[in-house]
Amino acid sequence: MRVLITAFEAFAGSPVNPSEQVVNAMQQAGLSGQQLFTSVLPVDAHTAPQILSDAIEASSPHIVIALGEAANRPVISIERAALNILDFRIPDNEGNTITDQPILPGGPAAYFSTLPVRAILKRLQASGIPAELSYSAGAYLCNMVFYLLMDWASRQPQPVQAGFIHLPSLPEQAAARGNSGPSMSLETSLQAIRAAIECAIEQHAQNGG
Amino acid sequence: MRVLITAFEAFAGSPVNPSEQVVNAMQQAGLSGQQLFTSVLPVDAHTAPQILSDAIEASSPHIVIALGEAANRPVISIERAALNILDFRIPDNEGNTITDQPILPGGPAAYFSTLPVRAILKRLQASGIPAELSYSAGAYLCNMVFYLLMDWASRQPQPVQAGFIHLPSLPEQAAARGNSGPSMSLETSLQAIRAAIECAIEQHAQNGG
Amino acid sequence: MRVLITAFEAFAGSPVNPSEQVVNAMQQAGLSGQQLFTSVLPVDAHTAPQILSDAIEASSPHIVIALGEAANRPVISIERAALNILDFRIPDNEGNTITDQPILPGGPAAYFSTLPVRAILKRLQASGIPAELSYSAGAYLCNMVFYLLMDWASRQPQPVQAGFIHLPSLPEQAAARGNSGPSMSLETSLQAIRAAIECAIEQHAQNGG
Amino acid sequence: MRVLITAFEAFAGSPVNPSEQVVNAMQQAGLSGQQLFTSVLPVDAHTAPQILSDAIEASSPHIVIALGEAANRPVISIERAALNILDFRIPDNEGNTITDQPILPGGPAAYFSTLPVRAILKRLQASGIPAELSYSAGAYLCNMVFYLLMDWASRQPQPVQAGFIHLPSLPEQAAARGNSGPSMSLETSLQAIRAAIECAIEQHAQNGG
């Protein structure tokens, strides 16, 4: 099976992004028995869509999990839905601040994740990894990539397991901010994403995918 | 140098306590060049004081760091002061609920930590470990042990570096609670306490201790 | 202009609901120069849809603002989108716990509010009322009523200004919970909803509605 | 009975301070059957002590409640203890940033409030006002004034009911910050302080004061 995992580069003044570190660690270790593809997307509303699209085209994936960082969340957030809206509270890395615009004019208001989100939640919690189902991926680059991913998935002839998972900041990021914010170790986040991929593979297999 | 690290047993329905796991890990690994003593205290207002006292007597320590768990805090909390008050929001493990009582009737209202708390904070943050100075250790067993420890230290002929550090819950505890609460990995908490001990040893040496 | 404001009855063990109190206060005071209709909906997934539908039919409204309580939010939450999902963390008042079901099978994944949410936000903040735009109305009764309301609005021949606003708990509710949770006075919430209605009326007039 | 209520002027960029507004409202309305004295202290570590001292000398009070603002707290915080430490995270209004200094060198580590804090908590909660007992008044001007007040009280021949209560920000302050922070209406905070004064008067009478 072909599995694509995407991440984001660092943004908002932090030198690192936990999603990029998770993807790099997975890239190094590989995915036993599966073909793993990874892509680190720019935090740039104008170029991220094309780079996502290229990564999808290059991998022709059965499963796609897009990752991003949610700096104020203490647990793994398994996102349920992407909204067709852009509303940036901070500029992206190229200085774009987009407010109250649709991602795809005329597109549906939202797409639901096609990952087995409930199964992933249960798997993570059973593995001792703090996690939650989330009903909002925000209105920044993460939600944008999530929406575009699901829009692509909706146009595929075969069902694709696709969705988005937010990771907490790394401990070193929280330490650098010095503001008592939450964090999660790279090891725990990596373990979470490995478990999520396993769930997606199992469901894909069950669906005869 | 003789270093005593204390922890607490599990409480409040959780099967584990991060402080106990840190102490057990340190006990196994030892402390290079120093004599390490450890003690796991009961979450019992009636017996904890004696067991603390025994641990102190058995080790005759130059440095004491007492550890406990603060389930709702996302970062390492380096406590500055212990208050002479008991005010339990939940019963201890023996069912005692003590409200608005002094720990030591007639004792001073508070003791300050004699650990180099500012140096520890800087060391942790420089090491990428999220940490804060805290002005309240609560009014439960943690604060009680902290107060009794400092009361002992105040009566020693030689200065003792003594104090209290609160650890976040472990990821598996947060996962079991299922409520999106914060956590910190055992590795990060262990690294924090090792760094705190180093700071205390350095200061003790500087003081000609 | 005909304006319909809906609220919810008390739930989750609290004897009151701020939305019901706001609606009752508005009902008593009336809405200068407009026809005001109000309805207090049951926290019951099986009967709330019909009672909402009846209220809409009885008032044939140009503007509808549905209100509900968000107990853990400290500010007025102007909701942007309703998702087609039911996922209850607590049972409703009739004991129904619905998990991972659509509100309307085959319905769109989401509807956006057609209230002038950005203008309402600015109006509230300029009036000294703490407020935010929210990207999730949850997956309980509030989101259900919001979704059904927008589904109705989407089928009207003329544009309807419709949407949902979450209110914080009242101070007496937070006091009864005894858990340091946030609250907002009835007066502030009432002032907020009056300002929101004004914004909606102004936009409706501008749209030639 | 002579009752002194102190407040602080605005600080940290906000044009108002809820404590000042509470004190002004009380000054206007008076205190039935009692002599009310009020003082608004500067947020200046160098001059606040003398102005507090002057206000105490001018009123020779039986009861003193010092008030301040805690911007991130959603409920009335009835403080239990003042610590002998200054550790400013932001400069005061005169630009002083004091770190890790005692308020009174050689003074006791802490003083406990002599207000009937438990009775006040119960009175407020019974009145529907969200409140909590707090074990830390911070390490800024509020804690400084609290400590100096209790130091004065400790030297009086007759017991004085004295202590500190933190108020949440006003709604207009939270709105101006635009960051979803908690707030409490002036009316609720005013009602809280009136109830606290009543409790203190009752206890003072019971003590034969």
Best to test chain C binding among D166, D169, D183 (most C CBs inside 10 Å): D183
| C-beta of residue C61 within 8 angstroms of C-beta of residue C2 | yes
Give the pLDDT confidence score for residue C74 in this predicted structure: 98
| CA distance to partner chain B, nearest, from residue D139 (Å) | 8
Which residue in B87, B110, B118 is closest to D83 by CB distance? B110
User: Residue D176: is its pLDDT beyond 60?
Assistant: yes
Work out the angle at residue D168's Cα, subtended by the Cα atoms of residues D78 and B75, and round it to the nearest 5 degrees: 80
A104-140 tens-digit pLDDT: 999 999 999 999 999 999 999 999 999 999 999 999 9
| C-beta of residue B22 within 8 angstroms of C-beta of residue B193 | yes
User: Residue B208: is its pLDDT beyond 90?
Assistant: no
User: Residue B31: is its pLDDT beyond 70?
Assistant: yes
Tally the C-alpha atoms within 13 A of residue A208's C-alpha that lie toward its C-beta: 0
Query: Is-catalytic flag, B204?
Result: no
| CA distance to partner chain C, nearest, from residue A79 (Å) | 12
**What contacts C2, CB < 8 A, 6 or more positions away?**
C34, C35, C37, C59, C60, C61, C62, C63
DSSP, collapsed to helix, strand or coil, labels residue D149 as helix
> What average pLDDT does the segment D141-152 reach?
98
Residue C156 is encoded by which pair of tokens?
């009207």
User: For strand B161-167 and strand C81-83, is the pairing parallel, antiparallel, or unpaired?
Assistant: unpaired
Give the pLDDT confidence score for residue C87 in this predicted structure: 98
Return the H-helix or E-strand segment holding D145: helix D141-154
Give the pLDDT confidence score for residue A209 in this predicted structure: 54
Give the pLDDT confidence score for residue B209 in this predicted structure: 54
Query: Which domain covers residue A155, as residue numbers?
Result: 2-206
User: How far is it, in rounded angstroms, from Cα B153 to Cα B197?
Assistant: 17
Q: Provide the CATH number for the domain around residue B177.
A: 3.40.630.20
Residue D110 is encoded by which pair of tokens?
């802490």
* A135 contacts chain C (CB < 8 A): yes
Write out chain B residues lying below 8 Å of D144, CB-based: none
* A151 contacts chain B (CB < 8 A): no
Chain A's closest residue to C86, CA to CA, is A135
* A58 contacts chain C (CB < 8 A): no
Best to test chain B binding among D73, D83, D133 (most B CBs inside 10 Å): D83
Radius of gyration of chain B (CA): 16
Nearest of D62, D64, D55 to residue D204 by alpha carbon: D62
Return the H-helix or E-strand segment holding D37: strand D35-41
User: How far is it, in rounded angstroms, from Cα B22 to Cα B192?
Assistant: 10
In the 8-state DSSP scheme, what is residue C84? S
Instruction: Please provide the size of chain A in residues.
Output: 209
User: How far is it, in rounded angstroms, from Cα D177 to Cα C191?
Assistant: 19
Of C5-9, D129-133, D175-179, the one with minimum mean pLDDT is D175-179
Q: Tell me the β-bridge partners of B2.
A: B35
Radius of gyration of chain A (CA): 16
DSSP, collapsed to helix, strand or coil, labels residue D140 as coil
| C-beta of residue A30 within 8 angstroms of C-beta of residue A36 | yes
Q: How many domains does chain A have?
A: 1
User: How far is it, in rounded angstroms, from Cα C173 to Cα C189?
Assistant: 14
| C-beta of residue C142 within 8 angstroms of C-beta of residue C8 | yes
C56-90 burial, b for 16+ CB within 10 Å, e for fewer?
beebebbbbbbbbbbbebbbbbbbbbbbbbbbbee
| C-beta of residue C101 within 8 angstroms of C-beta of residue C154 | no
Full pLDDT tens readout for chain A, 209 residues: 999 999 999 999 999 999 999 999 999 999 999 999 999 999 999 999 999 999 999 999 999 999 999 999 999 999 999 999 999 999 999 999 999 999 999 999 999 999 999 999 999 999 999 999 999 999 999 999 999 999 999 999 999 999 999 999 999 999 999 989 999 999 999 999 999 999 999 998 888 65
User: Residue D209: is its pLDDT beyond 60?
Assistant: no
B148-176 tens-digit pLDDT: 999 999 999 999 999 999 999 999 999 99
User: Residue D58: is its pLDDT beyond 90?
Assistant: yes
C6-46 tens-digit pLDDT: 999 999 999 999 999 999 999 999 999 999 999 999 999 99
Give the pLDDT confidence score for residue B207 in this predicted structure: 82
Which of the residues A62, A69, A166, A199 is marked catalytic?
A: A166
User: Residue C209: is its pLDDT beyond 60?
Assistant: no
| C-beta of residue C103 within 8 angstroms of C-beta of residue C147 | yes
User: For strand D161-167 and strand C161-167, is the pairing parallel, antiparallel, or unpaired?
Assistant: unpaired
User: How far is it, in rounded angstroms, from Cα A182 to Cα B132?
Assistant: 12
Give the pLDDT confidence score for residue D104 in this predicted structure: 98
Q: What is the dihedral of CA A95, A96, A98, A102, to 10 degrees?
A: -150
Give the pLDDT confidence score for residue A205 in this predicted structure: 87
pLDDT band per the 50, 70, 90 thresholds, residue D206: confident
* C174 contacts chain D (CB < 8 A): yes
**Chains near A, with 3+ CB pairs < 8 A?**
B, C
* D182 contacts chain C (CB < 8 A): yes
User: How far is it, in rounded angstroms, from Cα C52 to Cα C42?
Assistant: 9
Which of the residues C20, C62, C69, C166 is marked catalytic?
A: C166
C39-94 tens-digit pLDDT: 999 999 999 999 999 999 999 999 999 999 999 999 999 999 999 999 999 999 99
* A166 contacts chain C (CB < 8 A): no
Nearest of A200, A113, A120 to residue A164 by alpha carbon: A113
C93-128 tens-digit pLDDT: 999 999 999 999 999 999 999 999 999 999 999 999
In three-state form (DSSP H/G/I as H, E/B as E, the rest C), the secondary structure along chain C is CEEEEEEECCCCCCCCCHHHHHHHHHHHHCCCCCEEEEEEECCCCCCHHHHHHHHHHHHCCCEEEEEEECCCCCCEEEECEEECCECCCCCCCCCCCCCCECCCCCCCCEEECCCCHHHHHHHHHHCCCCEEEECCCCCCHHHHHHHHHHHHHHCCCCCCEEEEEEECCCHHHHHHHCCCCCCCCHHHHHHHHHHHHHHHHHHHHHCCC
Lookup result for tokens 């943050």: B125
pLDDT band per the 50, 70, 90 thresholds, residue B52: very high
Rounded to two decimals, the ipTM of the complex is 0.96
Q: How many CB atoms lie within 10 A of CB D51?
A: 16
Query: Is-catalytic flag, C142?
Result: yes
| C-beta of residue B43 within 8 angstroms of C-beta of residue B97 | no
> What average pLDDT does the segment C141-149 reach?
98
Mean pLDDT over all residues of chain A?
A: 97
Query: Is-catalytic flag, C199?
Result: no
* A183 contacts chain B (CB < 8 A): yes
User: How far is it, in rounded angstroms, from Cα D135 to Cα B3?
Assistant: 29
